[in-house]
Chains A and B, each alone.
Chain A
């Protein structure tokens, strides 16, 4: 089966020396891939390159076989993403925001917009401007925007940021439901290791700009008491004091 994501030799080094170097990674269709790493390890940089927001120094990312560098429109056709923060146009209502995004996807109509607002618990705020939204509500709107086109791949950078407990539980349930029912592939970065442990089927640990290990969650949990123990051990093994 074609890989959902195929990353080959992806490198981006900033002037301060940080970034990501020679990232090679395959994500299978249907995977819920957790991308773990300490602050400044290069997670967001890698995800920005995957979404075409920054150009790599070298290497390439293929999404369902289409290169993000050479064939961006085809590569992003079935992708939804939240990168760094969930943004929306503050002077537009939640509904107007989603209407704007829907124009890029033929087949997304008002029913689908309402469905996404319902899923994310924003339906009663659909006619409120997003400038009045709390951080959690903005995050929910970002999730609604990401799932709007029923994408085959969701790239989510810290999707639980700003969500309350109920929101986190909803989000976790949503990810599992989409993966099981629609076969959606997820590429998620998060600092909340416990949530990653409960949600992700495969884990990649990035440290100091390099991918240090990739393993299935069930294998990790058969060797370690928790994902946190595994993460600490991997980080320690790679030189962190």
Chain B
């Protein structure tokens, strides 16, 4: 447990020291600012009310969850695995008194923390922007819907990140993993349209999972089904990734 704790703290420290985290924060702020400027411009230019204060964060989420968030989660995963293997720094951790499972779990947990932190950062920003520009339409229920939407968006993006982690351990080059991740993302999105009956098996189709949680009539059966599929996929990707990580010769 000492080893896992140390590995997790070290992974978060390393992540915080890298420029990627700053880039993710800047892009997140930009996304919110550009979104709010667009909404305000339409409102004042055309006299149309696009969204209220508590709807704005949901509009931001619908874009953010398909773009910046999975992109940076992929960057972070590649950096943690392929980056460390190619820079020869993986052996620094692997020669310490900690199991490979401990190191692998610590890395995955740090990716989870990054996704959650990024989601809540954007939620806070967009909520603030929404309240500043449209304070009249704020409500408690609206706020609750936002928190629920952002919280539930964590799982599908995390499962996608686990898929990337598996690819990171399958392939040696970080660039190859990056392009393959994009191909998988685009492919799954395309298959989701073509083979809509099987969309539940394409993890990217569940990036809008949060809409099920905030719809007028909650479909508990569908939520449960998608939750189980995501958990199953996540466990499989985590295990397959660990299997490869454990067998790697450094």
**Among listed A2-10, A98-106, A164-172, A173-181, interface-contacting one:** A98-106
Q: How many residues of B contact A (CB 8 A)?
A: 26
**Among listed A32-40, A73-81, A201-209, A216-224, interface-contacting one:** A73-81
Chain B, range 42-98, C-beta contacts under 8 Å to A: 87-89, 91-92, 94-98
Classify the secondary structure of A's interface with B.
loop
**Among listed A20-28, A88-96, A118-126, A192-200, interface-contacting one:** A88-96
Measured in the bound complex, the distance between the Cα atoms of B91 and A87 in whole Å is: 8
Q: Is A55 a contact partner of B95 (Cβ separation < 8 A)?
A: no
Classify the secondary structure of B's interface with A.
helix
A136 at the interface (CB under 8 A from B): no
Q: Is A76 a contact partner of B96 (Cβ separation < 8 A)?
A: yes
Q: Is B18 a contact partner of A91 (Cβ separation < 8 A)?
A: yes
**Among listed B8-16, B111-119, B190-198, interface-contacting one:** B8-16
Measured in the bound complex, the distance between the Cα atoms of B95 and A79 in whole Å is: 9
Q: Is B96 a contact partner of A104 (Cβ separation < 8 A)?
A: yes
A241 at the interface (CB under 8 A from B): no
Chain A, range 101-135, C-beta contacts under 8 Å to B: 101, 103-106
- A residues with a Cβ closer than 8 A to B are 48, 51-55, 72-74, 76-77, 79, 81, 83-85, 87-92, 96, 100-101, 103-106, 145
8 residue pairs bridging A and B, Cβ less than 8 Å apart: A52-B94, A52-B95, A72-B97, A81-B95, A87-B91, A89-B89, A100-B13, A100-B14
- B residues with a Cβ closer than 8 A to A are 2-3, 5-7, 9-10, 13-14, 17-18, 87-89, 91-92, 94-100, 247, 249-250
Given contacts A88-B89, A106-B2, 4 further A-B contacts (CB under 8 A): A87-B89, A89-B92, A96-B17, A103-B6
